[in-house]
Amino acid sequence: MPDDVLSTREYEIAQAYAQGETYQAIAARLNIAPSTVRTHLATIYRKLEVSSKIALRARLGGEQPDPGVQIDHAAVISELALSLEDALRREQALGEVLRIISRSRGDSDMVMSAILGFALELCEAEFGILFDYRGDRQFAAGHSRGIPEPFQDWLDAQGCFQVSQSTGLGRVAANHCMVNIYDVRAEEIFQSDDPLRYATAILGGARSFVAIPMMSGDKLTGAFTIYRQSVRPFSEPATALAQIFADQSVIALENARLVSALRVKAVST
């Protein structure tokens, strides 16, 4: 039986995943990182000798493993299976975001919440913030998802605030380039009592962080930021995915502004 092969935690994760829960939902409920969920699933697939979510569900239901699967290749099969499922999740999420944008009717709050939610799930991050850029290194948190309450309270109290050049947002403002920080506590600015870095690391509990510039033509309009609460830097595939979500955010916000302008024009006429 599967529960004889798996640990208690592995069995709990296997059941949740087989029933359709996402990495993010499982991680939040068990108070672990989304990446830890995936690591457990790779072990679960290997131990149960399955290569898909459907096979996992059947195995948990009492079916025996496929005798054609060689145990020596089980680890490779489990990783390939999860990688394929990850790719399918990405395609489905990106398609869903485009559908939401096309049907949003200018509701930027709904669209941004959805985009951030998908970004956190697929990039295995704990929280995300979309910052509006107001010029002269001044930012305001426009939308957020999953952010710890103390950090959210701090941002609300700040409103629009100017960042130092050494912060991640400061570098985005200066160079209009992606900033991928291995560990926010390891940089020298953390020792300088910079208020934003303190709030990010202490109030938000962030460790690894990536900020993607949101560009409208050659103009910086904001920064799309996602955070992990463990030291696990974002890989190139993860940052490429975050860039796609940032680009979609720009499109959604511009659509919202256009719809708002058309509504004002219709009322005035």
- Which tens digits make up the pLDDT trace of 70-100? 444 455 455 555 555 555 555 665 666 556 6
Give residue 71's pLDDT.
45
The rounded distance, in Å, linking the Cα atoms of 203 and 115 is 24
pLDDT tens-digit profile of 15-62?
A: 998 888 888 788 888 888 777 887 888 888 888 877 777 788 888 887
Give residue 152's pLDDT.
96
Closest CA relative to residue 102, chosen from 248, 239, 262: 248
Tell me: pLDDT of 66 over 80: no
**DSSP structure string for the chain:** -HHHHS-HHHHHHHHHHHTT--HHHHHHHHTS-HHHHHHHHHHHHHHHT--SHHHHHHHHTTPPPPTTS-GGGHHHHHHHHHHHHHHHHHHHHHHHHHHHHHT-TT-HHHHHHHHHHHHHHHTT-SEEEEEEEEETTEEEEEEEES--HHHHHHHHHH-SEEPPTTSHHHHHHHH-S-EEES-TTTSGGGGGT-HHHHIIIIIS---EEEEEEEEETTEEEEEEEEEESSS-PPPHHHHHHHHHHHHHHHHHHHHHHHHHHHHHHHHH-
CA atoms within 13 A on the CB side of 11: 10
pLDDT tens-digit profile of 215-260?
A: 888 899 889 899 999 998 888 878 887 888 777 777 767 665 665 5
pLDDT tens-digit profile of 218-230?
A: 899 889 899 999 9
Over the chain, what is the mean pLDDT? Answer: 80
Instruction: For tokens 């529960």, name the residue.
Output: 3
The rounded distance, in Å, linking the Cα atoms of 117 and 25 is 11
pLDDT tens-digit profile of 116-142?
A: 887 888 788 899 999 999 999 999 998
Residue of higher predicted confidence among 42 and 175? 175
Give residue 43's pLDDT.
83
Strand 208-216 and strand 179-181: the pairing is antiparallel
**pTM exceeding 0.75:** no
Tell me: pLDDT of 143 over 80: yes
Tell me: pLDDT of 179 over 90: yes
